[in-house]
Amino acid sequence: MARRLLLAVVVALGVLGLATSGALLLSPKRGDVLAGIDHVPGATSGSPWTPQPIHVEIGQHPFLAASQYSNLHGGGGNADVNLGPGPLGRNTYLHSRRGTNPPGGMIATTVFTRDGNLISFVGAFAGFELDLLAPRSLHLLARFDLPQRPSTFAAVVTGNMDRVMADTSGGAYFYLDNEDRVVLADADQHVVRIGHRELDSGWEFYVADDWDVSAHVPNDCLGPKNWFPEGECDPITSVMPDGNGRIWWVTLHGRVGTVDPRDGTSRSMQFAGEQIQNTFAADTDQVYVLTDHALYGMQADDDGLPTVIWRQDYERGGGRKVGNASYGSGTSPTLVGDDWIAIADNGDPRDQLLVYRRARDVEGERLVCAVPLFADGHSAVELSLVAWNRSIVAANSFGYWNAYQQRDYGEAVGGISRIDVREDGSGCDVVWTSDARNPSSVVRMSAEAGLIYAYTVDEREGTDVWSLTALDARTGEGAFETRVGVGNRFDNSWAPLTIGPDGTAYIGIVTGMISLWDEPPPS
C-alpha cells in the first residue's frame, strides 16, 4: 500500500510539473511574486480604448455584498458584469503573485470587500485556503486554512487529474454576505461564515458561525483514513442565500438543502439520479438550480424545505464533450433582465443557448428561444454566460480539457457570441460572433468601458501566448490585447477573470494570480 501511494504521489507531482514549464521562473518563496512581469511597457497591441458606456442596471440582493463583487460570477444572478471601469489598454501594468500553498497554488475565486481588498480562494494539493490580499500589489494580509477535498487524495492515488479538475466542491463557490463575511461549504460538510478584521498586529480571519450539515450529506469518501469506502461520497458544491436570508446549498449528487442562520436548522431534498456541478442563481423571489437533466425554479416552504415551483428539461446530449467538465449543461444559470433566465444545453451537433421566462406562473411556453452556438461538432459551453439588459454573451470551450491534461491549445477552437432577447420577448437573435480563443475563463463585461474582457491563448512563433483581450461589447470587434505570459503555467483552468472596483483586472492562473491596470504601479 505504501509503495502504491508513493508511486501515485510521484505521478501526481509529475503531472504538476506541466504547470511549471514555461518562459518565466517561479520564485521558490511561499506567496512571492512571479519573477519578471512587474511592469510590461509596450505589451499592448491595438489602440487605447475610449470608454463607450452602456447603461446597465443590476439588482442588489439583500443578503449579498455588492452584486458586482460578491461571488465568482459577481452576484446572485451570475451576470459577470461590472458597472465600473476596466483596463483600457493605456500603459498597462502587470503584477503577479504565486498561490500561497504550493505545489499548485491556483487562485480560483476572488471577491472584493467594502474597503477594496480581495478575498481569494486558493486551491492546491497541499491544501485549500482563503487569502486576504491588497488590491493590485496582491500583498498577503491574512490567510485561513480550509479542509482538503477527498477528490485531491483520490487524484493522487489514481494519478487521474480529472478527479480534481471536474470537482467544484470545497469552497470555490463561496459568497460574501451583506456584512462582508465569507459564507462557504467546506469539504467536511460544514457551512461556515468567516469574518475578517484588522487588529494592531495586522489582519485576521475568524469563524463567526459553523453549521454541521453532515447529517444531510453522505461523506463516505476515499481518504488517508478511509481507503475502502463502501457508502456514498457527495460533496457540497455551492452555497447562496435566498430572499429571506436562508443559506441554500447543493451537492454533486443532486441534494439541495437550506440552513436557517437564526437557529441553525437544516432541511434537504434530492433530485435522484441527477448531478449539480456548478453554482445556482437566486433573486428575492426564487432560487434557480440547474442539474445535468433540468432547470428548476425553487423556494423554501415555511419549515425551510426546498420545494420545486417549476421544472424545465433540456437536451443533455449523448455524453460529455471535450470542453465540458461534466455531462449535461456546463453553465451556471444566469438571470437576464427582470424576466428571463439563460443556460446552455449539451445538444448535438451544437450546444444551444436557451432562454426561459422565470416567473412562477407562465402562460404558454416557458422557453423564449433556443439558439445554436458555434460550429457543428465543435461546440461546448462550459463557461458561465454574461448577461446585461437583454444581451447574453457565450464563449466556446470546445477542445479544452484543463491545464494539466491539455497537450495542444490549437484544439481549443474558440469563439465568443452575443445574442439578444428581442424587446417583445418573441425570440432571440445573434448580434455578433468573434473568433477570439477564450477556452477556459468566464469572460467579463465592464459597463463603464463598454468592453467584453476575455483571457485568450494563441500560438505565436511556436509558443502559447496568453493575453487579456478586450472586445467592443456593441460590435464584437477587437479593441486591444495585453500580453500576460507564455506557457501553460499561465493557463487559468476554469478560474474566472474578475474586475475590481478600481478597474483592475485579476486573472487567477494555475500558479497564482495576475493583476493588470492602466496606471503606474504602487510605490
Q: Is the pLDDT of residue 427 over 80?
A: yes
Q: Given this model, what pLDDT does residue 167 score? A: 66
The angle, 0 to 180 degrees and rounded to 10, between the axes of the packed helices 2-16 and 150-158 is 100
Residue whose entry in the numeric block shows the C-alpha cell 503531472: 15
CA angle (105, 206, 79) in 5-degree steps: 60
Q: Given this model, what pLDDT does residue 59 score? A: 86
CATH number of 2-517: 2.130.10.10
Rounded to 5 degrees, φ, ψ at 221 are -110, 150
Q: Is the pLDDT of residue 237 over 70?
A: yes
Residue whose entry in the numeric block shows the C-alpha cell 459564507: 183
Other beta carbons within 10 angstroms of residue 275's beta carbon come to: 18
Q: Which of 295, 262, 267 is nearest to 281 (CA)?
A: 295
Grid coordinates belonging to 43:
505589451
Q: Is the pLDDT of residue 483 over 50?
A: yes
Strands 281-282 and 266-270: unpaired
Q: pLDDT tens across 36-66, in order?
A: 344 444 456 778 899 999 999 888 999 999 8
Q: Given this model, what pLDDT does residue 166 score? A: 58
Query: Residue 302, class by beta-carbon neighbours within 10 Å (0-12 exposed, 13-18 middle, 19+ buried)?
Result: exposed
Mean pLDDT score, 426-430: 97
H or E segment to which residue 154 belongs: helix 150-158
Identify the bridge partners of residue 451 per DSSP, sorted by sequence position.
Answer: 446, 472
Q: Given this model, what pLDDT does residue 205 score? A: 98
Least confident stretch, 258-262, 273-277, 432-436, 447-451: 273-277
Q: pLDDT tens across 327-374, in order?
A: 889 899 999 999 999 999 999 999 999 999 999 999 999 999 999 999
Residue whose entry in the numeric block shows the C-alpha cell 443556460: 343
CA angle (47, 49, 53) in 5-degree steps: 160
CB 310 within 8 A of CB 366: yes
Q: Given this model, what pLDDT does residue 472 score? A: 98
Domain ranges of the chain: 2-517
More confident residue, 181 or 164: 181
> Which whole-number Å values give the CA distances from 367 to 63, 362, 363, 381, 481, in the listed order?
29, 10, 11, 19, 37
Burial 394-424 (b: 16+ CB within 10 A, else e): bbbbbbbbbbbebeebeebbbbbbbbbbeee
Q: Given this model, what pLDDT does residue 158 score? A: 66
> Which whole-number Å values give the CA distances from 341 to 81, 146, 242, 331, 389, in the listed order?
15, 33, 16, 12, 12
Order across the sheet with 236-241: list the strands: 236-241, 247-251, 255-259, 266-270
Q: Given this model, what pLDDT does residue 22 score? A: 29
Q: Is the pLDDT of residue 152 over 90?
A: no
Q: Which of 218, 300, 219 is nearest to 261 (CA)?
A: 300
How many residues does this entry show for the chain?
Answer: 523
Round to whole Å and give the CA distance between 38 and 419. Answer: 37
Burial 336-367 (b: 16+ CB within 10 A, else e): bbeebbbbbbbbeebbbbbbbbbbeeeeeebe
Other beta carbons within 10 angstroms of residue 313's beta carbon come to: 9
3-state secondary structure 345-402: CCCCCCCEEEEEECCCCCCCCCEEEEEECCECCECCCCCCCEEECCEEEEECCCCCCC
Residue 493, amino acid: S
Q: Given this model, what pLDDT does residue 212 score? A: 97
Query: Residue 159, class by beta-carbon neighbours within 10 Å (0-12 exposed, 13-18 middle, 19+ buried)?
Result: middle
Q: Report residue 14's pLDDT band, with 50, 70 and 90 as the boundaries.
A: very low
174 Rama sector, left if φ>0, alpha if ψ -120 to 50, beta otherwise: beta
Q: Is the pLDDT of residue 124 over 90?
A: no
Least confident stretch, 12-16, 193-197, 422-426: 12-16
Q: Name the percent of the chain lying above pLDDT 70.
A: 86
Q: Report residue 78's pLDDT band, with 50, 70 and 90 as the boundaries.
A: very high
Other beta carbons within 10 angstroms of residue 276's beta carbon come to: 24
Residue whose entry in the numeric block shows the C-alpha cell 447562496: 240
Round to whole Å and give the CA distance between 391 and 340. Answer: 11
Q: pLDDT tens across 374-390, in order?
A: 999 999 999 999 999 99
Q: Given this model, what pLDDT does residue 224 score? A: 76
> Which whole-number Å values give the CA distances from 381 to 172, 279, 417, 489, 515, in the listed order?
20, 15, 11, 23, 26
CB 481 within 8 A of CB 45: yes
Q: Is the pLDDT of residue 418 over 80?
A: yes
